[in-house]
A and B are shown apart, each in its own frame.
Chain A
C-alpha cells in the first residue's frame, strides 16, 4: 500500500462536509419539528395543512440517512456509483427543502435561515461530489 496523497482520490473537504452535514441535519430536523409544534399552538393550523408539512419533514429525515451513508461509503471507497446515487438523493432533498422554504403553511424567519444554510450545504456538497466523481472516473 502506498500512502501517497497524490494517489488518494477521496476528497477530504467532502468528508468533512458529510460529517458536519450529519450533525446539522439532526439539529435541523429537531428544530423544524419543534417549530411546527410551536406554530400549531400559536397559529391556526388545520390538520389538512399540518399533514403535508410533517410528511415532507419526515421524508427528508428518512432520505438523509441513506444519502449520507452512500456518500461516505462512495467517497471513502472511491466508488463513483454510490456517490452518484447520493447525488441523486441530494436532488430529492433539495426539492424537499425548497418546499419547506417556500411552500410550507407558515414560513418563519428562523425556518428561512435554517433551510437556507441547509441548501448552501447541499449545494456545496453537490459541487464537491461532482468533482470527486470526475476524479474517480478519470
Chain B
C-alpha cells in the first residue's frame, strides 16, 4: 500500500509543462471553459461573443522583448465589419535595437524556471535554501520525534496549555489528517483545547485489513493520555456501525471491542471515523477522555476509504456550546444570546438557557430573513442568525387590501420582526460562560413612534414598521491581538400609525429589519514595560564581624 501511495503521489505532484507558443498563450483567459470579457485570445470565446467586445485587453502576446526576431500573436478587433470580428495574426516581430539578442545559448534566461516539487527526499534541502524566519519559527514543544517515541518528561510542564500536543504513553494523541496530499498522516497530534475536525483518505485492501493498524479500534484507544498527575484511559463512548449502503445504526453495548475481521469477501469493523471528547477542569487538567467510533465494512473492490476524525474539548460541569470566538468575537460567527429565568428571587443569580445549540436556533439573536414572496403575513418564521461583524438588512412588504384590525396586525408584525423568543442578554465575549453574570450585556429597547402631524389622536394604534439592532463593540486587549467585545446592544422599534383606507384601495407598507455593528473602540494607549529595577542585595555576611 505504501508503493501505490507513493506512485499516486508522484503522479499527482508533477507540475504541468510550460507553454511557450505565443499562439496558444493567453494571460487574460482566467475563467476555465468560459469566455472572459474583452479577452481576444480566449479560446473559449465564440465569434458571437467576440462581436460583443469593445476592445482587446491583451493586444499582443510576445516573448522576451529583447529578442531580435520572434513570433508575436497580434489580436485586434475589426469594428468596421458587421458584426465586429476578432482578427488574429501571427507576425514576425523585429527589434531594431542593435543590442537585441540574436541568439541565447542560456535557455533558462528567457523562461521562468519550473520550481522543484518537494518530495520527502529533497524537502530538507529546499527548506534550507528557501526557508526563512517565517518558516523556521517553531516552538520547542513541537519537536516530537515520531520514530523514537521518547518518554515525556513529566517534570517539565505542570499542566497543559493551549496548543500543546496531548501526550499519551507512546508519543501523543493522534488525529490523522491530510498533509500536502489527501492521504492520511498519523503524525498529526491533537492540541489541547484546539477543536479540530479532519478528513483524509487511507488506502485499504481486504486481504490486509486486519494488519493495517489505522483501521483497528485499538489503535485509537490503546494508549492512555498522560495528564501529568495520573493517566486517563480513553473509553469508548459509542459505536455506530455503517453498512455498505450507508445506513448507520447505533450499537447498544459500547464496551465490546470490535476488531476488523474478514468475512466472505468483506472486511468488517474497520474504523471510518473517530470523535474524541476530552473533558478538562478549569485548572487545565484532563480528567476524562472518550472516543465515539463509526465502524464500517469494505469490499474487495475498495481501494481507499475516507476517514474523518474530530476532537472536541469540554470544560467539566458545563454544557458544550459552540463558541463564537475565544475570547473576542470572530467575524462571521453568530452572536450568542440568552435569557434570564423569570421570577428568580435573587437578581444576581441568573440561570441561562442552553445557548447556541443547534436544536435551539430560536434562542439565538436572529433577524428576519427575506423571502422571495416578500409578504410579511406569509412569512413562515424564517430567521437568519445575526453574525458578528456582518451588517444585515432584510424586510418584507405588508400589503393591506381590506381594512384590518390594528391590534392583531401589530402583534403579528412584532412577531415577524422580533421572532418567537427575542433574547434579553447578549454575550460580551465569544466564549462567555453562562455562570459569569458580568460577561453578559442586557439588550436595551427603544421605541420610536412616528407621529403624523395630523389630527390623529394619541390612542390610535401603532404598527411596527422598522426594527433595528445596533451592536456597539470595541477592541479589547493588546494592540497586536485585539479581541472584539460587545459593549452595548440597542434594539430600536419604530412604529407608525396605520391609516385606514377606504375599501377597494390597496396599500403596501415596507417593513424592514436591520443589524448594524458599530466599532466604538477608543484609540490604543501605549503600554510600556516596567523599567527594570536594580535589585542589589548585599551578601549575608557583608558586615562581618560587626553584625
Instruction: Give me the interface of A with B, judged by CB distance under 8 Å.
Output: 35, 38, 42-46, 49, 102-113
Q: Give the most central of B66, B97, B98, B103: most A CB within 10 Å.
A: B103
Contact B105 A109 (CB under 8 A): no
Does A108 contact B109, Cβ atoms closer than 8 Å? no
Give 7 closest A-B pairs by Cβ, nearest first: A107-B103, A110-B98, A107-B102, A105-B106, A44-B109, A109-B102, A108-B99
CB distance from A131 to the nearest CB of B (A): 34
**Complex Cα spacing A107 to B103, Å:** 5
**In the complex, what distance in Å separates the CA atom of A101 from the CA atom of B109?**
18
B103 CB to closest chain A CB (Å) equals: 4
- Whether A106 contacts B98 by the Cβ 8 Å rule is no
Q: Which residues of A contact B104 (CB under 8 A)?
A: 105-107
> Pick the contact of A105 from B66, B98, B100, B105 — CB < 8 Å?
B105
- A12–B463 Cα distance when bound, in Å, is 118
Given contacts A44-B109, A107-B105, 11 further A-B contacts (CB under 8 A): A43-B66, A49-B106, A103-B105, A104-B105, A107-B103, A107-B104, A109-B98, A109-B99, A110-B99, A111-B102, A112-B102
| B101 in contact (CB, < 8 A) | yes
Number of interface residues of B (CB under 8 A): 14
Q: Interface on B for A, CB 8 Å cutoff?
A: 66, 68, 97-106, 108-109
A110's closest neighbor in chain B, by CB? B98
Whether the Cβ atoms of B106 and A102 lie closer than 8 Å is no
Task: Provide the residues of chain B in CB contact with A113, threshold 8 Å.
Answer: 98
Inter-chain CA distance A48–B109, complex, in Å, is 13
Expressed in whole angstroms, the Cα–Cα distance for A62 and B98 within the complex equals 27
**Smallest Cβ-Cβ distance to A35: which chain B residue:** B99
Contacts of B99 in A (CB 8 A): 35, 38, 108-110
Could you list 10 examples of A-B contacts with CB < 8 Å? A44-B106, A44-B109, A49-B106, A105-B105, A107-B104, A107-B105, A109-B97, A109-B98, A109-B102, A111-B102
Residues A109 and B66 in contact in the complex (CB < 8 Å), given A49-B106, A103-B105: no
Among A44, A104, A106, find the residue whose CB has the most chain B CB atoms closer than 10 A.
A106
Residue of A nearest to B103 (CB): A107
Tell me the minimal C-beta distance from B272 to chain A in angstroms.
53
Chain A residues in 8 Å Cβ range of B98: 108-110, 113
Minimum Cβ distance to chain A for residue B132 (Å): 22
Whether A106 pairs with B109 at a CB distance below 8 angstroms is yes
In angstroms, Cα B105 to Cα A105, docked, is 5
**A61 CB → nearest B CB, Å:** 22
- Chain B residue numbers with a CB within 8 Å of A46 are 106
- Determine the distance from Cα of A104 to Cα of B68 in the docked complex, in whole angstroms: 16
CB distance from B93 to the nearest CB of A (A): 14
Closest Cβ of chain B to A99, distance in Å, is 10
Closest to A43 in B: B109
Complex Cα spacing A106 to B105, Å: 6
On chain B, the residues within 8 Å of A106 by CB distance are 101, 103-106, 109
Residues from chain B with Cβ under 8 Å of A109 in the complex: 68, 97-100, 102
Q: Which residues of A contact B101 (CB under 8 A)?
A: 43, 106-108
Q: State in angstroms the CA–CA spacing of A82 and B102 once bound together.
A: 38
B100 to chain A, nearest CB (A): 5
Which of A38, A45, A102 contacts B103 (CB under 8 A)? A102
Residues on B with beta carbons closer than 8 Å to the beta carbon of A43: 66, 101, 109
Cα A134 to Cα B97 with chains together (Å) = 45
Residues of chain B within 8 A (CB-CB) of A107 are 101-105
Inter-chain CA distance A103–B102, complex, in Å, is 11
Q: Which residues of A contact B102 (CB under 8 A)?
A: 107-109, 111-112
Question: In the bound complex, how far is the Cα of B305 from the Cα of A120, in angstroms?
Answer: 74
CA A107 – CA B102 in complex, angstroms? 5
Contact of A108 among B100, B105, B106, B108 (CB under 8 A): B100
Residues in chain B near residue A110, CB distance under 8 A: 98-99
Which has the most chain A C-beta neighbours within 10 Å: B66, B102, B108?
B102
List A contacts of B108 (CB < 8 A). 44
- Closest residue to B64 on the A side, CB-wise? A43
Write out the residue numbers on chain A whose beta carbons fall within 8 Å of the beta carbon of B100.
108-109
Please report the C-alpha to C-alpha distance between residue A129 and residue B68 in the assembled complex, in whole angstroms.
37
What's the Cα separation between A42 and B109 when bound, in Å? Answer: 11
A112 to B104, CA, bound (A): 12
A49 to B109, CA, bound (A): 11
Chain B residue with minimal CB distance to A102? B103
Chain B residue numbers with a CB within 8 Å of A35 are: 99
Residue numbers in B under 8 Å from A42 (CB-CB): 66
A33 to B18 Cα, complex, angstroms: 34
